[in-house]
Amino acid sequence: MRHSPRWVALHEPARLFARAAAFACAALLGACGVSDLPQPQEAQTLVVAVRFGPATWFPGPDGTAQGLDHDLIERFAREQKLPLTVVSVTDAATLIERVAAGDAHVGIGGLYRPQNVRPVPEKGRTHAPLLWTIGYETAEAVLVHSREGFRPRGWKDLAGAAVAYVEASGIEDTFAPVRREHPEIRWQPMRLASADALLALVDEGKVDYAVVSSIDSAVGRNIYLDVVTAFPLGPRRELAWAVSGSFPAIAHELDAFLARVKRDGTLARLTEHYFAPRGEVARLDAGVFMERVDEVLPGWKPLFVAAQESTGIEWRLLAAVAYQESKWNPDATSETGVRGFMQLTEETARHLGVADRLDPRQSILAAARYLRDLKDRLPRRIAEPDRTWFALAAFNIGLGHLEDARVQAQRDRLDPDRWRDVRRTLPLLALPDYYEKAKLGYARGGMPVAFVDRVRAYYDILLRTQDAHQPRLRVLGAYAGP
């Protein structure tokens, strides 16, 4: 039962958020009558039915919602100058029913776009109760199993076996042909909150085989360490949003919006943030990390929280940095002379006023101040989460070498303000053709890339297993986590 406590810790914020959202919209829906929902401009809000998920819509570091679907629909609503009203639903089937019934303008949350959907009509109400936007991302159904169990190579290896999937999640439609072609397999729908719960059951050995989306499998790779992917169950399918047939104009506006964010790179940046690999933590290392999260982290958490209160740097990000630097060992000393919990150099410690680098309290607070200062010194145009990744890279290699890599990105016609581009140019600083043109010369530029990847991987785990800290007095703009 290794993941049961973490499962509760992870999803309790989501449940509370869902209840709050549902309560907030009750007055609106009760006043206007859910079957006669007015146009968004008339209602003065965009009503969105949401199915929460670990990559699409979930509580972020400071407790507020984030996720790919969240960020996109919030951006759209902001452009429309409309606030969002969120109606939480438990499964994809209920979401589709609510939107088709006119209870919400739009339905979002990891929905698969049906095949052969007709284009949205230009004007007036439609005869169809439901419309679909263009796709914004793709995913496929994959078979997963326990690392300790038998690994199937094909369908013949699964004859007579039970294969579970989350009932009414929408994924069952993506592999319906497979279910029809292989009746010898015992397909087992399960009523669970999300794919995370199913992955936890596979990880604990309670379910032998399961079907989840490739996105859910990738997001959970550092949490459910005994779960591995066997093979895909079909072609990739598009994720899209459902729109009530009463509002074809909204569907047209959403299509135009999604097409635009594809062209201008916004969608690529968001999908990279939420879906792209972080630099997967090795299974053995991640297993040790999970054990130390349970056994060691509680003793140091008050110091991380105090540093967040003082500097605004999110405590779980600080904990991730500390683990990467010292494995939470206050006496750690490297061969190069950096010491303590946050592996500060003697010069950095002196600059930050640290009298004793082996004092965990001083070390953590100094590292938090240093990260905050690095973020403050970056150009203002660099937005989150790239700003945080840049600060972490500078924490590892220094602002000067980071700036050299940004200049090289500009030379290579890449975006110097995007981490995904600069992480490509940092390793080049170790090559003569490049470091001879750099202001600060040679640098082991691969080190900060690996450092940021590892910190992000640990941070992902902490975000999914540890609660956010809410300061009593919140300073505007203080939260530094992405």
Catalytic residue list:
325
Strands in 147-263 per DSSP E: 162-166, 186-190, 209-213, 227-232, 237-244
Which residues does 284 contact at the CB level (< 8 Å), separation at least 6?
none
Q: Are 279 and 422 in contact (CB under 8 A)?
A: no
* Parallel/antiparallel/unpaired status of strands 237-244 and 137-139: antiparallel
Helices (H) and strands (E) in the chain, counts: 19, 13
Strands in 101-161 per DSSP E: 106-112, 130-132, 137-139, 141-146
Q: Are 77 and 83 in contact (CB under 8 A)?
A: yes
How far apart CA 326 and CA 330 sit, in angstroms, is: 7
Pick the closest to residue 157 from 188, 178, 185, 181 (CA basis): 185
Look-up of token digits 């303000």: 417
Bridge partners (DSSP) of residue 473 are none
Instruction: Give Cα 213 distance to the centre of its chain.
Output: 15
**Omega within 30 of 0 (cis) for the link into 121:** no
The single-letter code of the amino acid at 271 is T
Backbone angles phi, psi at 152, to 5 degrees: -75, 140
Q: Are 166 and 195 in contact (CB under 8 A)?
A: yes
* Parallel/antiparallel/unpaired status of strands 162-166 and 186-190: parallel
How far apart CA 426 and CA 404 sit, in angstroms, is: 8
Q: Are 76 and 267 in contact (CB under 8 A)?
A: no
Rg over alpha carbons for the chain, rounded to the nearest Å, is: 24
Pick the closest to residue 384 from 426, 417, 341 (CA basis): 417
Look-up of token digits 């869902």: 18
Bridge partners (DSSP) of residue 165 are 189, 211
Backbone angles phi, psi at 352, to 5 degrees: -90, 0
Q: In what order do the strands lie in the sheet with 209-213?
A: 186-190, 162-166, 209-213, 141-146, 227-232
- Containing 96, the helix (H) or strand (E) segment is helix 92-100
